[in-house]
A = this chain, B = another copy of it.
Amino acid sequence: MPNPSLLILAGDGIGPEVMAEVRKVIAWYADHGTAFDVSEDFVGGAAYDGYGTPLADETLAKAMAADAVLLGAVGGPKYDTLDFALKPERGLLKLRKELDLYANLRPAQCFDALADFSSLKREVVAGLDIMILRELTSGMYFGEPRGIFTEGNERVGINTHRYTESEIARAARSAFQLARQRGNKVCSMEKANVMEAGILWREVVQKIHDTEFPDVQLSHMYADNGAMQLVRAPKQFDVILTDNLFGDILSDAAAMLTGSLGMLPSASLGAAGPNGYPRAMYEPVHGSAPDIAGQGKANPIACILSFGMALRYSFALGAQADLLEAAVNKVLADGLRTADLLGPEGGTPISTSQMGDAIIAAL
């Protein structure tokens, strides 16, 4: 049997430097019996620079053929003045859409060694472990009509929020399945008090629950209250299920609760791909951080743990993923810290590549 294949799209900003550390980890696994066929290409601004488009057709074809995609980050001030259709983000959004990666898993986990980094009180966030399931291929991000139109003598900006029953149902199933492997609780968030699309969302989630997952505890919450509750008492949540736009906002708020954005990975999953593995893309929650790019300051852990999620969710290599997570925890416990993790209580400052090396050593 051939090795499963990985396509690396390092992207922009700190993407390439954190991805360099992931390559070390991939190489370590290859030396220890878990090998992948790795190829690499451009996405985002880097693809615009190289190919004149944020996602070339050839790159998309490679992504469709790959067993998993590892993405770094996209975007940067250099591309701010590009047309909407050429912006780095369009490359990322096209990948999500074309690969039909409807289930975006965003853990918000507070690492014990780093709990003091949070702007929240230690007792509010210590031990925090939420999983946000954000629907990723529909809603406001992709609904038509969209654009800037002229009406009478002025312009109007329009975007459409749109969900079919089956789109809601498949995201809900992913959330319930995840919950069964965790705390068995799902809280679904929408604005059913204001949006008809939210009423349909709530109804379908409830139906999937009642007919297929009656054993999972389900609650519903308005998204504004959800934002409040995340700030007030985040540990009340296990899995949060929400749509593309609310998920964008709420998962970022949740990530920031942990105080260590540089630590958080994400997975985006779809239906089965060519070799039976789910179509999948893994990326850190943090962005391209152009302000620190190229300075060896970036924290590669989020990107490395994203590879860990690939081991777990694409390739069912849970034990190997556990090993990687243990190595990360060991390095943190040893006090090794990239710039973003250096607080008043100290630690040993190290660079991006030293962090990668330390994790290899811990493995």
- Closest Cβ of chain B: how far from A159's Cβ, in Å? 5
Report yes or no: B197 in contact with A157, Cβ–Cβ below 8 A: yes
Say yes or no for A162: interface residue by CB 8 A criterion: yes
Report yes or no: B157 in contact with A199, Cβ–Cβ below 8 A: yes
Mask: chain A, 147-169; 1 = CB below 8 Å from B; 0 = not:
11001001111111111111000
B residues less than 8 Å from A75 (CB atoms):
193
| Contact for A161 among B161, B164, B249, B255, CB less than 8 A | B161
B residues less than 8 Å from A156 (CB atoms):
162-165, 200
Say yes or no for A279: interface residue by CB 8 A criterion: no
Report yes or no: B197 in contact with A159, Cβ–Cβ below 8 A: yes
B residues less than 8 Å from A224 (CB atoms):
248-249, 251-252
Separation of A188 and B227 alpha carbons in the complex (Å): 19
Say yes or no for A223: interface residue by CB 8 A criterion: yes
Report yes or no: B231 in contact with A119, Cβ–Cβ below 8 A: yes
| Contact for A87 among B193, B245, B257, CB less than 8 A | B193
Report yes or no: A146 in contact with B225, Cβ–Cβ below 8 A: no
B residues less than 8 Å from A251 (CB atoms):
224
Report yes or no: B159 in contact with A161, Cβ–Cβ below 8 A: yes
B residues less than 8 Å from A159 (CB atoms):
160-161, 195-198
Say yes or no for A140: interface residue by CB 8 A criterion: yes
Separation of A67 and B154 alpha carbons in the complex (Å): 31
- Closest Cβ of chain B: how far from A298's Cβ, in Å? 17
B residues less than 8 Å from A143 (CB atoms):
158
B residues less than 8 Å from A250 (CB atoms):
227, 249
Look across to chain B and name the residue whose beta carbon is closest to the beta carbon of A255: B228
| Contact for A158 among B194, B196, B256, CB less than 8 A | B196
Report yes or no: A233 in contact with B196, Cβ–Cβ below 8 A: no
| Contact for A200 among B124, B148, B199, B257, CB less than 8 A | B148
Separation of A194 and B164 alpha carbons in the complex (Å): 20
Say yes or no for A176: interface residue by CB 8 A criterion: no
Report yes or no: A227 in contact with B199, Cβ–Cβ below 8 A: no
Say yes or no for A277: interface residue by CB 8 A criterion: no
Query: Which A residues fall within an 8 A CB radius of B?
Result: 75, 84, 87, 89, 93, 119-121, 124, 140-141, 143, 146-148, 151, 154-166, 191, 193-201, 223-225, 227-228, 230-233, 245-246, 248-253, 255-257, 261
